């Protein structure tokens, strides 16, 4: 019994990504405290500049932390890259700007320019001590503003704020040109600002350590996290290319850690509010899972090549298809045919179907969505069944084998998920049913009797890839997340 408990304890510690990361980290700042956070080194073969990239100084600005986490997987040919992805881990966990319990803004806590002061607070002290010991040439701190500076000058969102002389001043326009090339709206374009606020890490690095320093600011407002992360990557790529550290043909979307269960989660247009977070919560307990968000541009650039599974969450399938474009949709099809996994939840299950001009046609099902005459209301599309509600679902024998031995009817959230039936396409295998609806919701009388008994969850193959389509939202209910995670693991071939 004791041995078993110890084993569980060890698995719990090493199961999360932090445990796995500590093995590859070059060091830990604030070791032994709740603020403990790893930093990483990427070495080039030849001598060159030392560049420090930090993210997550403000806990409510997740794009910087995620971009830094990706950039630490880049391969450089010259110099050294030091990456501190999550400078302020407790604030990131809380999703708050300030350090929880201290009411202190970490990016106002570094030694002020023109003063002989010290860093204030234990987290700033440990970061500053580390930075002083490294003596970097460049310090790039990744942040996010709440609005576009080009539209709302009170915010520094979508800007590069620099300090540290003519070399850094000359670098900024090159980075701006690259990131702005993908932005259509003039008000959303990145701007060149100077200097960083006093007390910030970048300002302190320029003033006290003589570094070339920048704050890169994306904008949280109305923009998918994957786009903001992409913008950070785009700017960093130009910097490292210009410094001769990164080969110009280096892919900017690297594969997550070797051996990880690498999951790409679509969060672009058509992915609804909390859907991506709930998928992340579902996968957070899966050992070795690393979830990186992707948008349409990333998919078109070939980002999926490094992943085991792509997940399309709830929202609007037609908008997701539009964000992918025909080029992106073909990338998804090719990814699956060549062995990648696909999980579609609600909208994602519509997207996988065969019966729309924009659907992927990777699962041999069609959806009940045609126009029907509703007495007194005219022609109505049958996909709409009303607001979010709870329906009953029951796993089949095959579903219990894959997703856990749960018998009886389970209440799951349902919000206009597809009513799926065989499409009879000759070039696709027939799907297997993992769960069936045992009750139904309807908005129009003509929908009555069309849902109960139909597949709630189905599994199939397309080429060498596995596909799972889930009509309701088990990921919304914490109790059903382990079951849901097993279906995602199956699609991503994590079942041995």
Binding site for Zn ion (CB under 5 A): 58, 61, 143
H/E element, 28: strand 27-29
Check: CB of residue 89 under 8 Å from CB of residue 52.
no
Residue 100 CB, nearest distance to Zn ion (Å)? 16
Check: CB of residue 435 under 8 Å from CB of residue 456.
yes
Tell me if the bond preceding 195 is cis, omega within 30° of 0: yes
Residue 58 CB, nearest distance to Zn ion (Å)? 4
Question: Alpha helices of 181-274 — where are they, by DSSP H?
Answer: 201-209, 225-242
- Based on CB atoms, which residue is closest to Zn ion, 98 or 237? 98
- Based on CB atoms, which residue is closest to Zn ion, 87 or 362? 87
Helix (H, G, I), strand (E, B) or coil at 336: helix
- Based on CB atoms, which residue is closest to Zn ion, 107 or 396? 107
- Based on CB atoms, which residue is closest to Zn ion, 67 or 294? 67
CA dist 477 to 433, 451, 471, Å?
21, 21, 14
- Based on CB atoms, which residue is closest to Zn ion, 58 or 333? 58
- Closest residue to Zn ion: CB criterion: 143
Residue 458 CB, nearest distance to Zn ion (Å)? 44
- Based on CB atoms, which residue is closest to Zn ion, 95 or 449? 95
Mutual angle of helices 225-242 and 166-180, in 10-degree steps: 130
Residue 394 bridge partners (DSSP): 436
Residue 61 CB, nearest distance to Zn ion (Å)? 5
Helix (H, G, I), strand (E, B) or coil at 62: helix
- Based on CB atoms, which residue is closest to Zn ion, 61 or 392? 61
Look at residues 97, 102, 81, 83 and name the one whose alpha carbon lies nearest to residue 33: 102
Residue 178 CB, nearest distance to Zn ion (Å)? 22
Residue with tokens 């290319």: 241
Residue 99 CB, nearest distance to Zn ion (Å)? 13
Residue 70 CB, nearest distance to Zn ion (Å)? 19
* Token pair of 43 as six digits: 């070495």
Distance CA 246, CA 236 (A): 10
Residue 68 CB, nearest distance to Zn ion (Å)? 13
Could you list the beta-strand ranges (E) of 223-296: 261-266, 289-294
- Based on CB atoms, which residue is closest to Zn ion, 141 or 297? 141
């Amino acid at each position: 019994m004791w041995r078993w408990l110890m084993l569980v304890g060890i698995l719990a510690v090493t199961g999360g990504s932090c445990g796995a990361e500590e093995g590859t980290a070059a060091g830990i700042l604030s070791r032994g405290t709740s603020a403990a956070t790893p930093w990483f080194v990427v070495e080039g073969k030849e001598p060159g500049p030392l560049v420090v990239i930090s993210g997550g100084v403000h806990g409510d600005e997740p794009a910087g932390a995620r971009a830094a986490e990706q950039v630490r997987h880049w391969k450089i040919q010259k110099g050294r890259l030091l990456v501190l992805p999550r400078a302020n881990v407790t604030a990131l966990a809380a999703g708050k700007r300030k350090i929880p319990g201290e009411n202190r803004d970490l990016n106002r806590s570094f030694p002020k320019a023109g003063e002989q002061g010290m860093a204030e607070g234990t987290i700033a002290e440990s970061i500053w001590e580390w930075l002083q010991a490294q003596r970097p040439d460049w310090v790039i701190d990744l942040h996010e503003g709440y609005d576009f500076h080009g539209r709302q000058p009170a915010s520094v969102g979508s800007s590069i704020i620099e300090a540290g002389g003519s070399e850094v001043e000359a670098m900024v326009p090159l980075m701006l040109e690259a990131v702005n090339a993908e932005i259509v709206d003039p008000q959303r374009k990145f701007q060149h600002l100077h200097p960083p606020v006093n007390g910030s890490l970048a300002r302190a690095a320029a003033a006290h350590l003589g570094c070339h320093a920048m704050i890169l600011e994306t904008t949280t407002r109305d923009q998918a996290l994957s786009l903001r992360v992409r913008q950070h990557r785009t700017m960093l790529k130009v910097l490292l290319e210009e410094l001769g550290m990164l080969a110009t043909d280096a892919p900017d979307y690297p594969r997550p850690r070797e051996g990880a269960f690498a999951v790409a989660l679509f969060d672009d247009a058509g992915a609804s509010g909390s859907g991506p977070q709930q998928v992340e919560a579902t996968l957070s307990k899966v050992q070795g899972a690393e979830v990186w968000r992707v948008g349409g541009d990333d998919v078109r650039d070939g980002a999926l090549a490094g992943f085991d599974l792509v997940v399309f969450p709830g929202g609007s399938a037609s908008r997701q298809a539009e964000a992918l474009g025909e080029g992106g949709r073909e990338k998804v099809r090719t990814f699956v045919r060549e062995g990648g996994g696909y999980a579609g939840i609600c909208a994602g299950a519509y997207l996988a179907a065969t019966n729309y001009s924009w659907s992927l046609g990777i699962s041999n099902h069609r959806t009940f969505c045609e126009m029907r005459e509703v007495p007194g209301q005219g022609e109505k599309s049958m996909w709409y069944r009303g607001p979010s509600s709870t329906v009953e679902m029951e796993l089949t024998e095959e579903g219990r084998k894959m997703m856990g031995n749960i018998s009886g009817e389970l209440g799951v959230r349902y919000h206009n998920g597809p009513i799926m039936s065989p499409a009879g396409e000759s070039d696709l295998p027939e799907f297997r049913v993992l769960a069936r609806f045992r009750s139904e919701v309807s908005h129009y009388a003509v929908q009555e009797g069309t849902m109960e008994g139909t597949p709630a969850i189905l599994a199939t193959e397309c080429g060498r890839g596995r596909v799972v389509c889930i009509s309701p939202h088990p990921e919304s209910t914490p109790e059903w997340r382990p079951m849901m995670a097993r279906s995602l693991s199956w699609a991503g071939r994590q079942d041995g």
